[in-house]
Chains A and B, each alone.
Chain A
Amino acid sequence: MTAVTGPRAQDARYWLASHRGPILAAALFLAMFAVFVTEHPAGLSGNVVNTAANKGALLALVAVAQTIPVLTAGLDLSVGSVFVMTNCLASTVVTGTPREVGLGVALVVVVGVACGALNGLVVVVGRLQPIIATLATGAMYQGIALWLRPAPGGEIDEDFADFVTGSLGDVIPFSIVVLIAAVVVIWVPYRRSVLGRAAYAIGSSEQAAYMSGVPIARAKFLAYVLAGLFAALAGLLLTCVTYSGEANALLGGSYTLSSIAAVVVGGTSLYGGSGGAIGTIFGAFVLRTIGDLLFVFDIDPLSQPLFLGVVLLISVSLGSFRLLRVKKRLDLYR
């Protein structure tokens, strides 16, 4: 420990180094959001913030679902389908007496967990590649969504929905509260648990994790289960936003793809082992804010997908600078 910096400053430096991804994503989001509210004709009104928050929270929850398998160097291409399917389910069961609403919410969550558990079984016990396995289970969940709701429609308890999508005291959007609650109640304990750390260990080096006696099968399984859980929360939130359910395959697909983008923008490595939900959440908000910015700057909304693509392409290509440090060319090849 050098005398100049002192132990505390040194701790901070290491903390910064290991949280660079989320911090950059957060800074990027805050900058973009600041520009957004100053340029927005209505300014920082509760309404503007609330709309932005609801859109961002939806993607953020799906992206957090994606993050956890990615940490284990896996992938879940079914998060979008689970999201759509739980949306369809919620538009059927979350209605009636408060008791029935409560049970309905519980059922939606349980179904999400079950989908995640099936993914986990196929990947851990079936030893299939996560990409192809979740692509296939995703088709199944999409089918179930269609079965639940062949045509768009359904309903959700309006009081519940208005409460979830409203704002606390017209200032703090409740969807943000839901998001923060999910992080505090699920993500933080998970991150601090042995199995949560095992997910990082597996993604970092499955070989070394095995040698160190890390419970690999259990940790991978739990990662997919949690992905199902977060996707279900997102599906529930979507139902509250739209007051209905729709088995929209295109929506599911675009959320799956955007979730991967948010994971990358939020500083989580697709090779696993580093990153986390906090960065992902900011990554999701960054992606959503790009669209909003294009809107306030009066740029043709039709260019929005193009901009999103370019941002994604640039952000994933930035990692290539590490190649300049590789000394053993052989190491570039698998």
Chain B
Amino acid sequence: MTPLLRMEGISKHYGGVRALEGARLACARGRIHAVLGENGAGKSTLIKVLAGVVQPDAGTIELAGEPIALPDPAAASRAGIVSVFQELSLLPDLSVADNIGIVDPPRMWHRTWGPIDRRAQRRRAEAALARVGAGDIHPLAQVRDLPLSRRQMVEIAKALARDPKLLLLDEATSALTAADVASVFRVLRQLRDDGLAIVFISHRMQEIAELADDCSVYRNGCHVASFPAGSKTSGEIIEMMIGREHESVFPPRPGRASSERPALAVKNLSWAGRLRNIDLEIRPGEVVGLGGLDGQGQRDLLLALFGALTGVTGSVAVHGVPVTLSSPQRTRLPGGGIALIPEDRKTEGLMLPMSVRENLSFAAIDQFSRFGWIDRRAEEAAIASMIRLLGIRADGIDGPVAALSGGNQQKVVIGKWLMTRPQIILLNDPTRGIDVGTKQELYRLLRELADGRAALLFYSTDYDELIGCCDRVLILYDGAIVNVLEGDALTEHNIVASAHNLTAAGAAGAPP
């Protein structure tokens, strides 16, 4: 029997960065297909191609044996491909019933021209909600008033109400409670038995073991293997996800056991239920990693330490002096202060259309200006030395920073902060989407900064990096630190296991 869906040779590049390279996926009716891989392995891009959100550079997609083009989400929807995304595609100002019936609502009088039949739509929404076990959600409630877990249930109900042939779930259960997950799984199994094909991404290994019929593993945008669920142990699956092709060279760690006073000491930090009782200390010269699955509070922790959140409780001390981080301006401290290399360099790190000069000197502009007047000579001298230090390859300093490659852009973001001579540097996934060569340079730079007595807190979605660069790695799960790995315990296996909140033994030995 031909599979319902067959994707072959799908490639997608963003600038110089490859997201997918000749990837393939095939799934049959009546099967639940789990798509596995590390962060950045290309799983989400693959799903977005299927949903019509991302256009591949190359490759073919066949649905029930027929080649199909998916230029936009509406086309995918018409073809019977319905997706539930991690980033919600709900309309916050509309009611639950309106959201569920947004595309093809029941009509009065005429199938295409009649007005929306609100009663029928409401009944349909109630049925869809009841089916996924979310009967507690009122169909007239506005989506913006629902908590995240309820919104995700609406999202799933919305997808099911469209009678899909192929259902795509990208981390669709990440925000759900255990009871919700159980009822969603019950529905998914029912749908599978009704002949639906389901493609499913999750980082929770237990869920995959529980639900999947088939598995496909991806790594660095390439398909690694497909196999029936249960034929591999989770240890073997994790090996496949990690791969053995990494050749990153990391600078040596000095491994000094310092008993100095910490540069940054955080006690009992909590925020809005999303960060819970965080304690951490970083000494000068240390690189401390933040690990775990994406979205477990790592980014919020960095923002909290940079004064960008309100209502943070707990205490923060810099070199023993208590500080109140009520705004980013307050992170300007005598002796250097705190720097944050933000998550999204295009919107948070850089002003893309502006020049390399304007971007590089932006945070440290006070050093080159008197009464607000910029001393361009001093500015140029400082910029030239920063460009030399970081090896930024730019065609002059007055060209727009948007013209640089991703790696060089990231160097500009880092350079912008190094110009303020910070004591504490917070890095939010700084190597995402940049090439291998630049990554190596950044690893060296991080170690040099640490050797220069800066304290670094480094969040990365790449486990390899955490192991290679960090003296210590804190694993976050659901806003709390669940494990601290250092020395010999700092291995990929342990990181992956703690990130999934499994015990180390469970990850290695338990059957899937």
Contact = CB atoms under 8 A, between A and B. Distances in A.
Contacts of A329: 307-310, 327
Contact of A189 (B93, B115, B303): B115
Nearest to A18: B142
Nearest to A14: B140
Interface stretch (A31-39, A44-52, A74-82, A198-206): A198-206
A22 to B, nearest CB: 15
Given A211-B53, A213-B74, A213-B77, A328 B303 contact: yes
Given A212-B103, A274-B93, A197 B98 contact: yes
B452 to A, nearest CB: 29
Contacts of A10: 138
A204 B115 contact: no
B91 A201 contact: yes
Contacts of B105: 194, 197
B142 A17 contact: yes
Q: Which of B93, B271, B307 has the most CB of A within 10 A?
A: B93
A193 B115 contact: yes
Interface stretch (B21-29, B82-90, B474-482, B490-498): B82-90
Nearest to B143: A204
B118 interface: yes
B142 A205 contact: no
A15 B141 CA distance: 9
A140 interface: no
A17 B95 CA distance: 11
B92 interface: yes
- The size bracket of the interface on B is 35 or more
Nearest to A327: B272
A330 to B, nearest CB: 5
B254 interface: no
A208 B98 CA distance: 13
B115 A192 contact: yes
B94 interface: yes
Contacts of B310: 326-329
* Chief secondary structure at chain A's binding surface: helix
A249 interface: no
B94 A204 contact: yes
Contact of A205 (B92, B145, B327): B92
B36 to A, nearest CB: 24
Nearest to B117: A192
Given A18-B140, A327-B311, A200 B91 contact: yes
Contacts of B272: 327
Interface string B306-329: 011111000000000000000100
A328 B309 CA distance: 5
A10 B126 CA distance: 15
Interface string A57-80: 000000000000000000000000
B116 interface: yes
B94 A214 contact: no
A185 to B, nearest CB: 13
A163 to B, nearest CB: 31
Contacts of A107: none
Given A197-B98, A214-B103, A326-B310, A208 B142 contact: no
A200 B308 contact: no
B102 A201 contact: yes
B309 A327 contact: yes
21 contacts: A11-B140, A15-B140, A17-B142, A18-B95, A18-B140, A192-B116, A197-B105, A200-B98, A201-B102, A204-B93, A211-B73, A212-B102, A213-B76, A273-B91, A273-B93, A273-B94, A328-B303, A329-B307, A330-B308, A330-B309, A330-B348
Given A208-B88, A210-B73, 18 more contacts: A1-B138, A14-B95, A14-B142, A18-B142, A193-B116, A200-B93, A201-B102, A204-B91, A205-B91, A208-B89, A208-B91, A212-B73, A213-B76, A213-B78, A328-B310, A329-B309, A329-B310, A330-B309
List the 6 closest A-B pairs by CB distance, nearest first: A273-B93, A213-B74, A14-B140, A192-B115, A211-B89, A204-B93
Interface of A: 1, 10-11, 14-15, 17-18, 189, 192-194, 197, 200-201, 203-205, 207-215, 269, 273-274, 326-330
